[in-house]
Amino acid sequence: MKTTVRALSLAGVAVIAAAALAAPASASARSEAAHPVFVQTDDPQGNTVVAYDRGRDGSLTQAGTYATGGLGGVLDGSVVDHLASQGSLTYDQRHGLLYAVNAGSDTVTVFAVHGDRLTRTQVVSSGGRFPASVTVHGDLVYVLNSLDGGSIQGYRRIGDRILRVPSWNRRLGLDPAATPQFTTTPGQVGFTPDGDHLVVTTKGNGHAIKVFAVGPLGPSAKPVTTTEDGTAPFAFTFDDGGRMVVTQAGPNAVATYTLGRTGTATQIQQIATGQAATCWIVKTGPWLYASNAGSGTLSGYRDTGRGTVNALGTTATDAGTVDAAASSDGSYLYVQTGKDGNVNAFRVNSSDGSLTRVGTVTVPGAVGGEGIVAL
């Protein structure tokens, strides 16, 4: 049986590779409009992505609304963060594709990006229940499913679509009965910068960082798990040296880690934010900003380049600070605030990382919504 399964896996990969050669990606030169920002509503009545044009001063003007063809979802116990995750809307710059999760219908939507316009090319099964985070590296796409103990599902990109590979599904083995859901479901899936590993954070369900090796036949059978009791690791990004920078919702802190070749995470630093519900984090240039949902603030940090960060102070936002994204030129930061479904726009001071608010928009149907991308 094991020999048969391996043969089928190899055959599947061969078919995918052949299809990829036969169906080259549509041009990545989809850039008719300048600097759009895309915001996911996660509306349980019908999930949408709202497109905004960025003005010269960083302010936003609505440019269009695009149905994902799926439903948003709401985790039990959540108020301002219905997905309780980072990376629910992800942009593949190389191929000009936008990926959106539909947590309420267990699907993932693929959009082709044409400036500030989107064309829906596909809605595909997430391979599990309640997809909440998606990550891309090269032609590989992985989705994190939050419920039933959690799982990851892998796909191969073919043109403007993705093909689910059933053998690239891995269970996380979390407690499916743990409550409340919004603190005990996994927080994020993400590739390491080199694409050799997939990282999953488990929040309060295990307080762990799980790392899968990724090879030609998919993820390793089991992850390497590093447990940090009481930390509730939520979201993460990477510094320029490939070290992880993780938000810890338990102590309300930002921590840095090295990842060993085997996938073991070793903590370098832990620095308290002094805020409440420190959950999301984004990096732009040398600056990092952690979102504190319970305080309605952003905590700023400077990357020292040595695996540590220096605190810069806090900046007020509207209530329920959740997911955030920085513009590709590093000039602006856009922050979702879930209580009223707003996006706060800030100018990033290049000399000291301080933030100046330049505007706010209310996104239709986005109270509690998460998922934002800035180009």
Q: What is the DSSP string of 55-87?
A: PTTS-EEEEEEEE-SS-----TT-SS-SS--S-
Phi, psi of 17 (to 5 degrees): -65, -40
The fraction of the chain above a pLDDT of 90, given in percent, is: 91
For residue 105, the model assigns a pLDDT of 98
pLDDT digits (tens, 9 = 90+) for 198-211: 999 999 999 999 99
Question: Which of the residue ranges 27-31, 224-228, 341-345 would you say has the lowest mean pLDDT?
Answer: 27-31
Domain ranges of the chain: 2-374
Span 2-374: which CATH code? 2.130.10.10
pLDDT digits (tens, 9 = 90+) for 216-269: 999 999 999 999 999 999 999 999 999 999 999 999 999 999 999 999 999 999
For residue 14, the model assigns a pLDDT of 41
Q: What angle do CA 170, 255, 141 make, to 5 degrees?
A: 30
Mean pLDDT of 49-62: 97
Q: Residue 5: enclosing H or E segment and its boundaries?
A: helix 2-22
pLDDT digits (tens, 9 = 90+) for 162-196: 999 999 999 999 999 999 999 999 999 999 999 99
For residue 59, the model assigns a pLDDT of 97
Cβ neighbours of residue 212 closer than 8 Å, sequence gap 6 or more:
152, 170, 197, 198, 200, 219, 220, 223, 224, 263
- Whether the pLDDT of residue 37 is over 60: the answer is yes
- Whether the pLDDT of residue 4 is over 60: the answer is no
For 325-350, the DSSP string reads EE-TTSSEEEEEETTTTEEEEEEE-T
- Whether the pLDDT of residue 67 is over 50: the answer is yes
Which of the four pLDDT bands, split at 50, 70 and 90, describes residue 325? Answer: very high
- Whether the pLDDT of residue 10 is over 60: the answer is no
Phi, psi of 245 (to 5 degrees): -120, 120
Which of the four pLDDT bands, split at 50, 70 and 90, describes residue 33? Answer: low
For residue 372, the model assigns a pLDDT of 98
For residue 170, the model assigns a pLDDT of 98
- Whether the pLDDT of residue 1 is over 90: the answer is no
Burial status of residue 185 (CB atoms within 10 A of its CB: 0-12, 13-18, 19 or more): buried
> Could you give the CA distance from residue 322 to residue 336 in angstroms, rounded to a whole number?
5
More confident residue, 6 or 94: 94
Phi, psi of 6 (to 5 degrees): -65, -40
Residue 103, SS3?
coil
pLDDT digits (tens, 9 = 90+) for 277-301: 999 999 999 999 999 999 999 999 9
Residues 197/259, Cβ–Cβ less than 8 Å: yes
pTM of the entire predicted model: 0.91
Q: What angle do CA 278, 289, 140 make, to 5 degrees?
A: 90
CA atoms within 13 A on the CB side of 231: 24
Question: Which of the residue ranges 22-31, 64-73, 104-113, 329-338 would you say has the lowest mean pLDDT?
Answer: 22-31
Amino acid type, 12: G
The fraction of the chain above a pLDDT of 70, given in percent, is: 91
